[in-house]
Amino acid sequence: MSQNGLSIALLHHPVLNKVGETIGSAVTNLDLHDIARVARTYGVGDYYVATPFGDQHELIEEITDHWLHGHGARANPARREALAIIRPARNLDEIVEQVSDRYEQEVLIVATSARRQQQITQIDYPALRERLDEEKPVLLVFGTAHGLAPTVLQRVDAVLEPIQPDSDYNHLSVRSAVSIVLDRLLGKHR
Amino acid sequence: MSQNGLSIALLHHPVLNKVGETIGSAVTNLDLHDIARVARTYGVGDYYVATPFGDQHELIEEITDHWLHGHGARANPARREALAIIRPARNLDEIVEQVSDRYEQEVLIVATSARRQQQITQIDYPALRERLDEEKPVLLVFGTAHGLAPTVLQRVDAVLEPIQPDSDYNHLSVRSAVSIVLDRLLGKHR
């Protein structure tokens, strides 16, 4: 699959904890691997991983180094190819700057949420697919822990409609959420 | 979302390793959590986890016990609800027997594969959705490691078409694969 105008970002700060406080969550190995693999499968060129914490940047570097340049790169070249799209960043501003620089045009910043956000413009899948079909760049922002903090939702252009808003159970892992959203936007069965 | 006729199974044996040998893979904590969460979200009633190894059954029990009856059950009731659909089993035969007993009618057994399987009847998403709409039971079988061994593929009724057969990269985690397949079969955006 050729690349498209979609970039994705996984924010570890500012996100919410179980009781709705704003926190910084920890980077996990599997968020890097699973999300890089599905992003690479669907032709996403850049997977930004944002955390403001220096030790967490070291962790990202240790993990990606192993697979890009260490033993992992020789043992599993397919994994190398996936992890090569990971771009560490400090925060959303830095990511928006990098995506804008790359595409040299205005980028639509779209947040994701498991819940309907009444105060923010909602965009649906057909509208977002249309934008991508027109080769306009889109940055899709996912939150770890219990989701993106209000300060993030307030600064994006739109929020994507929830995945299963009418389910009586709505607690997908962020790894599942990214997989489903990418398939809905870029999968060949639309 | 109300329950439907779909059951899913994750096999840890017999599956293939990187060089195509048949192996038994290790149960992982996150395969239990992520897949139970997405299955519960889409109204799947039973998530079978098969391994022939006794120590692996003990591991499944330790993990699910914590979330069903231990501290996890009180700290995170939503996680409890997801992990409650996990059904440990020894092998595919045992699973087929249990699903048949539950539905008291013939169950269509459908394997999944990242590659096209020329020797086996292929079923596509619309056909499988139709079957589920008619409330006929379906057991969908996923493999860990590098996928289901030929002995499994030979005994199922059909194999589901691959997720992204034309992508130049096709190395999804099984957690991503289950998420995407459930959304394609049961998601509200079809």
Distance CA B69, CA A81 (A): 42
**pLDDT band with cut points at 50, 70 and 90 for residue B172:** very high
From A96's Cα to the closest Cα of chain B, the distance in A is 26
Contact assignment for A30 to B30 by CB distance below 8 Å: yes
Q: What is the mean pLDDT of residues B74-79?
A: 93
H helices within A42-165, ranges in order? 54-68, 71-75, 77-83, 92-103, 125-133, 150-155
From A3's Cα to the closest Cα of chain B, the distance in A is 11
Within its chain, how far is the Cα of A50 from the centroid?
Answer: 10
DSSP-based three-state secondary structure for A116: coil
DSSP-based three-state secondary structure for A144: coil
Q: What is the pLDDT of residue B13?
A: 98
Q: What is the pLDDT of residue B2?
A: 56
Distance CA A90, CA B40 (A): 34
**pLDDT band with cut points at 50, 70 and 90 for residue B61:** very high
Q: What is the mean pLDDT of residues B181-189?
A: 91
Contacts of B183 in chain A (CB under 8 A): 163, 180, 183-184
Nearest to A176 among B163, B166, B179 (CB): B179
For the domain bounded by B6-52+85-186, which CATH number is listed?
3.40.1280.10
**pLDDT band with cut points at 50, 70 and 90 for residue B63:** very high
Q: What is the pTM of this model?
A: 0.97
From B16's Cα to the closest Cα of chain A, the distance in A is 16
CA torsion sign for A44, B169, B176, B60 is negative
For the domain bounded by A6-186, which CATH number is listed?
3.40.1280.10
Q: Produce one character per residue of B25-54: b if its CB has 16 or more CB atoms within 10 Å, e if not.
A: bebbeebbbbbbbbbbbbbbbbbbbbbeee
Contact assignment for A183 to B184 by CB distance below 8 Å: yes
Distance CA B91, CA B87 (A): 12
Contact assignment for A189 to B37 by CB distance below 8 Å: no
Residue of B nearest to A18 (CA): B76
Q: What is the pLDDT of residue A68?
A: 96
**pLDDT band with cut points at 50, 70 and 90 for residue B144:** very high
Please state whether beta strands B22-23 and B15-16 pair in parallel, antiparallel, or not at all (unpaired): antiparallel
From B155's Cα to the closest Cα of chain A, the distance in A is 27
Distance CA B6, CA A17 (A): 33
Longest distance between any two alpha carbons in chain B, whole Å: 49
Contact assignment for A173 to B79 by CB distance below 8 Å: no
Distance CA B4, CA A186 (A): 27
Q: What is the mean pLDDT of residues B21-42?
A: 98
Name the average pLDDT for chain B.
95
Contact assignment for A189 to B125 by CB distance below 8 Å: yes
pLDDT beneath 70, residues of chain A: 1-2, 189-190
CA within 13 Å, CB half, A121 = 10
Contacts of A40 in chain B (CB under 8 A): 169, 171
Distance CA B102, CA A25 (A): 41
Contact assignment for A166 to B172 by CB distance below 8 Å: no
Contact assignment for B179 to A172 by CB distance below 8 Å: yes
The tokens of A149 are what? 């903090």
Residue B1 has pLDDT above 60, yes or no: no
